[in-house]
Amino acid sequence: MSGLFDLSGKGAIVTGSTRGIGRAIAEALIEAGARVVISSEDAADTERVAAELGMPGIACDVTDNAALERLVAEGEATLGGLDILVCNAGITGRAGPFAEIDMDDYAQVMAINLTAQVLLCNHALPRMAARRGGAAILISSLSGLRGNGRINAYALSKAGVAQLARNLAVEWGPQAIRVNAISPGFIATELSQPLLDNAEFMARRMAMTPLRRPGTPAEVAGAAVFLASPAGAFVNGHNLVIDGGTLITDGS
């Protein structure tokens, strides 16, 4: 059974991996034996976290297609091969109804959360196919599966990410490439701290979650290791929801 989650000898790129869920995924992949390229748009943060984890770091603005191409090419060269891709970089954008949406903000959210994942997969998956197999994990969100009056472009982009995983799974499955999505629910991270500190919000949100607690980045990371490892070798085109049961509850 131990070999089911063994990633020894595998090379991975994780975007947005200097903090939160992205860093937790990078750490979990490393613990499972993979070598991981750490990446974010901030060069100093990328260098610092890469040094802390003892892994290579490549800064990348995911809205720049040329930078994405360099990330994949340099990452593959540094690792000696690319087997795992985790598209995690994303932003929330401005909250509010679609009727009041700022279209510049909308464009930025779509560029970072969805378009960048399309481009990154287009650069990486052919290289992974040349190695006769690999796994791509696209980070979606619970918000892409539920209606919400204030989460506008973010939710729309994340719904698109889940569909992207399904499409790419069909396209690349015949070449032994598996593509799956992960949809985290409410996860306790640095970015969610203002909500964690909001007693009214937490009481309402936890009443909607059967486990009555937020998730942790490590719990999302464990799912990523599963999808990247031999344990998940027959899982393809799936959207794995990590939400403590929020999606399936009626709030009672």
Q: How far apart are CA 29 and CA 83, in angstroms?
A: 12
Per the annotation, the verdict on 106 as an active-site residue is no
Q: How far apart are CA 89 and CA 28, in angstroms?
A: 17
Q: Which are the contacts of 76, defined by CB distance < 8 A and separation ≥ 6?
A: 11, 82, 127
Catalytic residue among 106, 154, 186, 226: 154
In 3D, which of 231, 70, 239 has the Cα closest to residue 159? 239
Residue 56 in tokens: 């290579």
Please name the residue that has the structure tokens 């603005």: 61
Neighbours of 252 (CB within 10 A): 6
Which residues sit opposite 12 in a β-bridge? 36, 84
- Please check whether residue 72 is in contact with residue 14, taking contact to mean a CB–CB distance below 8 angstroms: no
Amino acid letter, 245: G
197: Cα within 13 Å, side-chain hemisphere = 6
First to last CA, the chain: 38
The percent helix, strand, coil of the chain (3-state, each to 5) is 50, 15, 35
By three-state DSSP, how is residue 181 classified? strand
Buried-state track 56-87, b at ≥16 Cβ within 10 A, e below 16: bbbbbbbbeeebbbebbeebbebbebbbbbbb
> Residues with catalytic annotation?
154
